Structures are given as structure tokens and as C-alpha cells.
């Protein structure tokens, strides 16, 4: 199986994980919760989701390998991961799709710590699922889809991914797109004036292995952040942490279909 980069959870081939005795292993193939800082012990990075919220994922089947996705849940008493119920796949491959079969998986998890795996060794990052009452910092909810099937994913029929990020969704400075010309008499004639509502999304302490995911996510046509339909018209900007594998991401967003009414 191959993991689509748009999936909210990252997967890697467990058989190809590098030797973590090295100081700076190749970041694109390392578990998210492991970080080496100048040879120090690994430090945890958590990818968080809310309990009871559905997590959607899609995978490409390369051969006739098993499509069973197994849940591994951490036992808080023993500290060991134990096998939980598997997630059943749904074949969403459309007629005429060029490539291997695409399978969809959906699951809402209770609070806990998990990772997911396939029989062929494809394994997810460890992630946590928390309840609203357990949230220490605010999570920003991002729903994303696309106008056509692309990026190794099937979107037809209204398929939507959901992800949560530690950060802030802030109202930014207002903007106004104007076009005008100066008449023969020196008077300025306004041809167009388009007020825009601007938001800034800050994603904090993201593991560096998720940068490509964020860049691809905010290249899609249909984006909703905390219930607000937005569009991304500029590239993301990043600020890498010193001596760490974490990064802060800033994304400028415009509200879609701004109708100039107060909401209630």
C-alpha cells in the first residue's frame, strides 16, 4: 500500500526506518515523534485529533496485498501497544481511473494514543486523540477537498479530509483590491473596488516531515478552517526551530464568498 500525502496521518515503511543512532537521520522517513538534537535523546512530537471526530484516509494498493488496516492502541498501564479492531476498507476507485486501486478508510477514535499499520509493514506515526476537556492548547480544524480527482486521491462525490493543527486562526488586516484610471481632466475614476476579509493561519511546532503535506493541502481548491470557507492565494511561509525538527507555518487566507453581511 502507498499512503497519499494528503492523508492527515503520515505513514512510512517500517522496514526502511534509518538507524537512529545517527545524529540527524533523513527526516522524510522517520517517525514523527522522534527528534535528535545534537545527539540528545529522542523527544516527542504529537499529532493530535479530537475524540469522536472522523478521520478519513486514502491509500493506493500497489499489488494484491492485504488491505486490512490494523489499529494499535497504547495500554496506559503497561505502556505497550495492543491490537485493536481493524478498519475495513472501501474501494473508491472510479471507472477509468489510471493507476492502481484506491481504498478509503474512515474511523472515529476514542481518547488514547495510537498508531496504524498494514501487513506489508507500512506504519503510521504515533498520534494522540484527546477530548475537548483535555485540550491544553487550541486545535485548529481544517477540512479540505478538491474540484477533481488528483494528487493520488479520489474527491468525487464530495470526499473531504479533516485535520487538526496546534495553532491560531486569526482575523488579519483588511484589504481592498482597487482598479482606477485618471481622466483627461485629472479626475480619478474607480473601475473596481473589492473589499476582502483576510485571515492568518498559524500552525505551531509542526514536525518538519509534514511540510509537504501542508503545502499540498493549501494548494487544493476547497478549504474550510474552523467553519470558514477560505482560499489560499499565496505560498506558505515557514520558520524552522533552531536545533530541532519542528517548524512554525504561516498561511495567508481570504474568505470565500464574502457577502458583506454581519453574521448572527
For 215-227, the pLDDT digits (tens) are: 999 999 999 999 9
CA–CA distance, 20 with 222 (Å, rounded to integer) = 38
Given the C-alpha cell 478552517, which residue does it identify?
Answer: 225
pLDDT for 37: 39
pLDDT for 17: 62
CA–CA distance, 249 with 7 (Å, rounded to integer) = 18
Cβ pair 114, 72 in contact under 8 A: yes
Number of Cβ within 10 Å of residue 63's Cβ equals: 7
pLDDT, tens only, 108-143: 999 988 889 998 888 888 888 888 877 766 789 999
Phi, psi of 78 (to 5 degrees): -95, -20
Render the burial of 179-216: b for 16+ CB within 10 Å, e for the rest: eeeeeeeeeeeeeeeeeebbbebebebbbbbbbebbee
pLDDT for 243: 63
Number of Cβ within 10 Å of residue 154's Cβ equals: 20
Domain boundaries, the chain: 2-255
Average pLDDT, the chain: 82
Write out the DSSP string of 201-261.
EEEEEEEGGGHHHHHHHTTSSEEEETTEEEEE-S--EEEEPTTSSEEEEEEEEEETT--S-
pLDDT for 217: 94
DSSP lists the bridge partners of residue 255 as: 230
| Whole-model pTM over 0.85 | no
pLDDT for 264: 66
Smallest CA-to-CA distance from 177 within 193, 161, 155, 201 is with 193
pLDDT, tens only, 54-82: 999 999 988 888 899 999 998 888 878 89
Smallest CA-to-CA distance from 194 within 183, 180, 182, 205 is with 180
Per-residue pLDDT of the chain (264 residues; tens, 9 = 90+): 889 999 999 888 777 665 544 544 455 555 544 444 333 333 344 578 889 899 999 999 888 888 999 999 988 888 788 999 899 999 999 887 877 899 999 999 999 888 899 988 888 888 888 888 777 667 899 999 999 999 999 999 899 999 998 889 988 778 777 777 777 777 777 777 778 889 999 998 887 778 889 999 999 999 999 999 999 988 899 888 766 677 899 999 999 888 888 776
Cβ pair 209, 202 in contact under 8 A: no
Amino acid at each position: 500500500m502507498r499512503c497519499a500525502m494528503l492523508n492527515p496521518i503520515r505513514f512510512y515503511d517500517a522496514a526502511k526506518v534509518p538507524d537512529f543512532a545517527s545524529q540527524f537521520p533523513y527526516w522524510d522517513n522517520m517517525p514523527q515523534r522522534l527528534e535528535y538534537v545534537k545527539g540528545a535523546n529522542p523527544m516527542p512530537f504529537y499529532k493530535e485529533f479530537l475524540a469522536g471526530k472522523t478521520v478519513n484516509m486514502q491509500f493506493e494498493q500497489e499489488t494484491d496485498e492485504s488491505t486490512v488496516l490494523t489499529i494499535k492502541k497504547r495500554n496506559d498501564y503497561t505502556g505497550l501497544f495492543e491490537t485493536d479492531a481493524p478498519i475495513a476498507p472501501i474501494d473508491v476507485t472510479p471507472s477509468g481511473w489510471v493507476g492502481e486501486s484506491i481504498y478509503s478508510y474512515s474511523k472515529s477514535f476514542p481518547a488514547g494514543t495510537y498508531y496504524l499499520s498494514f501487513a506489508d509493514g507500512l506504519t503510521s506515526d504515533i498520534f494522540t486523540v484527546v477530548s475537548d476537556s483535555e485540550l491544553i492548547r487550541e486545535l485548529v480544524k481544517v477540512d479540505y477537498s478538491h474540484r477533481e480527482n488528483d494528487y493520488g486521491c479520489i474527491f468525487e462525490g464530495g470526499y473531504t479530509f479533516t485535520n487538526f493543527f496546534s495553532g491560531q486562526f486569526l482575523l488579519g488586516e483588511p484589504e481592498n483590491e482597487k482598479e482606477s484610471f485618471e481622466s483627461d481632466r485629472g479626475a480619478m475614476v474607480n473601475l473596481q473596488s473589492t473589499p476582502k476579509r483576510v485571515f492568518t493561519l498559524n500552525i505551531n511546532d509542526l514536525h518538519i516531515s509534514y511540510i509537504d503535506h501542508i503545502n499540498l493541502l493549501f494548494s487544493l481548491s476547497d478549504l474550510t478552517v474552523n467553519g470558514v470557507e477560505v482560499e489560499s492565494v499565496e505560498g506558505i511561509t515557514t520558520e524552522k526551530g533552531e536545533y530541532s525538527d519542528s517548524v512554525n507555518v504561516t498561511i495567508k487566507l481570504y474568505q470565500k464568498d464574502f457577502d458583506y453581511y454581519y453574521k448572527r
